[in-house]
Amino acid sequence: MMEAAMQGNMAPVKKRQKLHPKEFLMWVFLVSVFMIFAGFTSGYIVRRADGNWVEFVLPVGFLYSTILVVLSSISAQWALIQARKDNLDRVKVGVGITALLGIAFILAQLNAFNQLVEIGMFLVGNPSGSFVYIITGIHALHLVSAIIVMFVIFANVFRYRVHSKNLLGIRLGTIYWHFLGILWIYLYIFLLIMN
Amino acid sequence: MSHNHEHHHDHHQESFISKYIFSMDHKMIAKQYLITGMIMAVVAALLSLLFRLQLGWPEDTFPWLESLLGDWGKGGRLDPNFYLALVTMHGTLMVFFVLTAGLSGTFSNLLIPFQIGARDMASPFMNMLSYWLFFLSSVIMLVSLFVESGPAAAGWTIYPPLSALPQAVPGSGLGMTLWLISMTLFIASSLMGSLNYITTILNMRTVGMKMTRMPLTIWSFLTTSILGVLSFPVLLAAAVLLIFDRSFGTSFYLSDIFIAGEALNRQGGSPILFQHLFWFLGHPEVYIVLMPALGITSEVIATNARKPIFGYRAMVGSLLGISFLSFIVWGHHMFVTGMNPFLGNVFMILTLVIAVPSAVKTFNYLATLWKGNIRFTPAMLFAIGLVSLFISGGLTGIYLGNAALDINLHDTYFVVAHFHLVMGSASMFGMLAGVYHWYPKMFGKLMNEKLGYLHFWLTFAAVYLVFFPMHFMGLDGVPRRYYNFTGFEYMSEWMDLNRFISVSAILGSAAQLIFIWNFFYSIRKGKDAPQNPWNSNTLEWTTPVERIHGNWPGEIPHVHRWPYDYSVPGAPQDFIPQTVKDDDLPETLRAPKVAPAPEHATAEASTTETLLFSRFLNLFGLKRA
């Protein structure tokens, strides 16, 4: 491909070790995703400062999902380490567990939504509740995309496309997964402090 | 695009679809952006002529309007609702589709791989996707002109409640929905483009192309993309909340709303919240529009003045400074929202600070022109025109940045005049300068110069004739976005001037036909361009005239110097391309191999004034690369 040709062209000249362009692309992408949530959370702060704001206790369900997201990051990292060592069977297990924990996270979020409904906080109503639904909902949408990525990697392991010589895909997937985990922890702590 | 093809590009087989439609070649994508942008510009200009017609001749009827617009022009009079829609669509199309995608999309795509020495973008596929999302969003935006209830009519800033309640005005219905869908696609497209530009610039420069050796165009595209990546997601966040307010009954932006005397079941929201989120994008957006034009101007002015750009590092620094400041001044659009006066002061001071990097740029342009061996090509005229508009529009920015004055001038024609000069027209001039300058690179032909001159002078005159008088109307308190001024006595005094502006606008728009004709005629019938028509230093002019896949037939050239070695005393010709090694130059021009040279000894003319200037610049750490 074009990129390979370009690297071939530059190979004779010594260059310092750089990030793979696609990995760099991923980091810039993460910055832009973060900015969406920076927009939401700063909007939250601005709106809250205006008053007319219904206070409520954040349901405990969000704590469960936080635990799940931490566990899934551990299994994702484990899968990446196993991929470096070419232990393909363990990679399959690791990626599979990560994807399942991701699905469990989504279910935990839905459970937390139910708990919100039980205490009388609906999507439609005072913005203090609506914000929680939107922020967690948009985060969950991103996580769904990450689960799809995990499934793609899972399929690729079976086609022998993930191994120590071809780590880019799984590395990018893991970076994205960790990012969404850290983003969730930020959002959870933010919502805890605010409620 | 395999490795082989780069060496046997002549045998490269491409179908019509992969070459002209779903192309992944950055040069073709640039042309696609340019042509789409031009179409959108024509539409946006025609919309503005319709509302100028209303403002210039509010009492007259034009029977042809009814046949053109149907219900919107009943009895030959423009419908007031449609007037608001026209203003909205004119702003949206011009700001986003022409001056963001059309300008940045065209020149970032064309110049980034060319000028940094890369075969294509970091991800050509994402680049293609970015264009097609933009195309789709353009089509949806144009389609919204044809829906029965009319296009969006809440202004290009789509403030709620007009944008949040589908029943508010006719344009708040389907028109607004299409606007939001289109802009969501647009944001996705713009983000993909920006991610690609940043990655390509930072990762794929050729050997020797240090950051300090990049042409200022590339610096401006880099800062523009960074702004895009940081600010467009926030607009997306604002749009998500708006969509929920519109469609799912939440009340982020709505509170205590009555429509036709009936209270709506919305409480707890704040329309000001939308303004905060919108302007957090909105202000960086004006620099997203302007900075590529400034970058193009730097390149065109240095090349055609045959002089090194004055204060390269200061130029880079001011781009970075403007980018940074643009994120912390959004409040100056909101002085009249009942903002805390202390906060207002903070925003005011930060806003006025932007004058510093802007002035640095202006003075550097003037200092580059000073005693230059100027070639007045059409591109150069447009670049100088940009400097002129940047000054006259920038000066009124100082008035408007001042909270005490802005409270009086807010939403008047003074604001309209200000941003049309400094952001609209200046960026448009930058874009035109870019088209004239890089046309040979895009099409391998030269544009007709005489028509270029005619186009420039008519456009330049029209811009000032249209927008300058608006300052006086604004100072008199004439508000913007009004359908008709005849109902108010103090405003009807300006009737004649309004008519004058409308006539100028019609003539100015007609002048653009010269450009469009020149553009399309020259693609086929223009004179063949030599490889380096402007004797320029940058890498894109080392590629063959017939634009090939992978840009360079053999190896990518290495870079040995900065791009602005023009008129170096003692050099064999008045430019030293970036690819020339020191060893190929006369002895006197080579950098000493051991100790770092005092900077004026290498390339700069060591006259007393430049010596003094460089000492002065050294004081501020602004040493030239």
Coil, strand or helix at B412: strand
Q: According to the model, what pLDDT value does residue B619 have?
A: 53
Coil, strand or helix at B263: strand
The CB density around residue B580, as the number of other CB atoms within 10 Å, is 18
Chain B closest-CA separation from residue A46 CA (Å):
7
A189 has a pLDDT exceeding 60: yes
Q: Contact at 8 Å (CB) between B546 and B443?
A: no
Coil, strand or helix at B575: strand
Q: Is residue B468 part of a domain?
A: yes
The percentage of chain A sitting over the pLDDT mark of 70, rounded to a whole number, equals 91
Is residue B282 within 8 angstroms of chain A, CB to CB? no
What residues in chain B have per-residue pLDDT under 70? Answer: 1-13, 591-625
Contacts of B202 in chain A (CB under 8 A): 24
Q: Is residue B553 part of a domain?
A: no
Q: Is residue A105 part of a domain?
A: yes
- For B298, the token pair is 């730097």
H or E segment and range at residue B446:
strand B445-446
By C-alpha distance, which of A27, A22, A34, A23 is closest to A142? A34
Q: According to the model, what pLDDT value does residue A14 have?
A: 44
Crossing angle of helices B174-203 and B216-248, in 10° steps, is 150
* pLDDT single digits (tens) A123-133: 998 899 999 99
Residues 13-32 of chain B with CB under 8 A from chain A are none
Coil, strand or helix at B590: coil
Q: Is residue A17 part of a domain?
A: no
More confidently predicted of B359 and A3: B359
Is residue B240 within 8 angstroms of chain A, CB to CB? yes
The residue assigned the tokens 């409520």 is A56
CB-nearest to B238 from A9, A39, A130 is A39
Q: Is residue B393 part of a domain?
A: yes
Contact A24 B277 (CB under 8 A): no
Q: Is residue A1 part of a domain?
A: no
Long-range contacts of the stretch B76-79 (C-beta < 8 A, 24+): B78/B50, B78/B51, B78/B53, B78/B54, B78/B483
Q: Contact at 8 Å (CB) between A128 and A53?
A: yes
The residue assigned the tokens 């874009």 is B431
Q: Is residue B114 part of a domain?
A: yes
Q: According to the model, what pLDDT value does residue B587 have?
A: 77
Tell me the C-alpha to C-alpha distance, in Å, between residue B260 and each of B73, B168, B169, B253, B573.
Answer: 26, 10, 12, 19, 75
- For B438, the token pair is 């890089």
Domain enclosing residue A185, as ranges:
61-195
Contact B122 A21 (CB under 8 A): yes
CA distance B572 to B585: 8
What is the domain count for chain A? 1
**Same structural domain for residues B99 and B206?**
yes
* CATH code of the domain containing B299: 1.20.210.10
Chain A closest-CA separation from residue B248 CA (Å):
7
Question: Any residues with CB less than 8 A from the CB of B326 and at least 6 apart, and which?
Answer: B227, B283, B284, B286, B287, B354
**DSSP of A1-30:** -HHHHHHHHHTTS-------HHHHHHHHHH
CB-nearest to B270 from A6, A29, A47 is A47
Q: Is residue A189 part of a domain?
A: yes
**Same structural domain for residues B216 and B301?**
no
CA distance B187 to B100: 11
Q: Is residue B174 part of a domain?
A: yes
Nearest 10 degrees: Cα torsion B437, B441, B446, B451:
-40
**Same structural domain for residues B153 and B293?**
no
**Same structural domain for residues B328 and B416?**
yes
Contacts of A145 in chain B (CB under 8 A): none
What is the domain count for chain B? 2
CB-nearest to A25 from B118, B199, B550 is B199
- For B564, the token pair is 């602005």
**Same structural domain for residues B100 and B207?**
yes
Tell me the C-alpha to C-alpha distance, in Å, between residue B145 and each of B82, B89, B132, B141, B358.
Answer: 10, 8, 20, 7, 37
Is residue B267 within 8 angstroms of chain A, CB to CB? yes
A6: confidence class by pLDDT, cuts 50, 70, 90: very low
Tell me the C-alpha to C-alpha distance, in Å, between residue B496 and each of A19, B478, B502, B505, B616.
Answer: 62, 14, 10, 14, 51
Strands B527-528 and B258-259: unpaired
The residue assigned the tokens 């997964």 is A177
- From the CA atom positions of chain A, what is the Rg in Å? 20
Q: Contact at 8 Å (CB) between A162 and A91?
A: yes
Is residue A10 within 8 angstroms of chain B, CB to CB? yes
Is residue A5 within 8 angstroms of chain B, CB to CB? yes
CB-nearest to B273 from A9, A46, A125 is A46
**Same structural domain for residues B222 and B311?**
no
**Same structural domain for residues B292 and B185?**
no
Q: According to the model, what pLDDT value does residue A5 have?
A: 42
Domain boundary among B175, B202, B226: B226
CB-nearest to B250 from A21, A35, A123 is A123
- For B357, the token pair is 């990097």
* CATH code of the domain containing A161: 1.20.120.80
ipTM of the modeled complex: 0.88
CA atoms B456, B461, B465, B468: torsion sign: positive
Contact A124 B249 (CB under 8 A): yes
Contact A130 B250 (CB under 8 A): yes
Q: Is residue B280 part of a domain?
A: no
CA distance B109 to B441: 13
Is residue A30 within 8 angstroms of chain B, CB to CB? no
Is residue B510 within 8 angstroms of chain A, CB to CB? no
Burial of residue A34 (number of CB atoms within 10 Å: 0-12, 13-18, 19+) = middle
* pLDDT single digits (tens) B39-48: 999 999 999 9
Residues 132-171 of chain A with CB under 8 A from chain B are 134, 138
**Same structural domain for residues B220 and B302?**
no
Q: Contact at 8 Å (CB) between B191 and B163?
A: no
CB-nearest to A28 from B199, B269, B556 is B199
Q: Is residue A9 part of a domain?
A: no
Residues 41-60 of chain A with CB under 8 A from chain B are 42-43, 46-47, 50, 52-54
Chain B closest-CA separation from residue A89 CA (Å):
32
CA distance B402 to B400: 5
Q: Is residue A106 part of a domain?
A: yes
Contact B250 A31 (CB under 8 A): no
Is residue B238 within 8 angstroms of chain A, CB to CB? yes
* pLDDT single digits (tens) A37-94: 999 999 999 899 888 888 888 999 999 999 999 999 999 999 999 999 999 999 999 9
φ/ψ of B412, rounded to 5, equals -110, 175
> Chain B: residue nearest A45 by CA?
B273
Domain enclosing residue B66, as ranges:
20-226
- For B199, the token pair is 């990655």
Is residue B230 within 8 angstroms of chain A, CB to CB? yes
Residues 64-83 of chain A with CB under 8 A from chain B are none
Chain A closest-CA separation from residue B465 CA (Å):
40
Q: Contact at 8 Å (CB) between B440 and B533?
A: yes
The residue assigned the tokens 């005397």 is B261
Chain B closest-CA separation from residue A35 CA (Å):
6
The DSSP bridge partners found for residue B528 are B445
Q: Contact at 8 Å (CB) between B128 and B24?
A: yes
Q: Is residue B1 part of a domain?
A: no
Is residue B279 within 8 angstroms of chain A, CB to CB? no
**Same structural domain for residues B458 and B340?**
yes
**Same structural domain for residues B114 and B201?**
yes
Contact B233 A32 (CB under 8 A): yes
By C-alpha distance, which of B70, B229, B274, B39 is closest to B139? B39
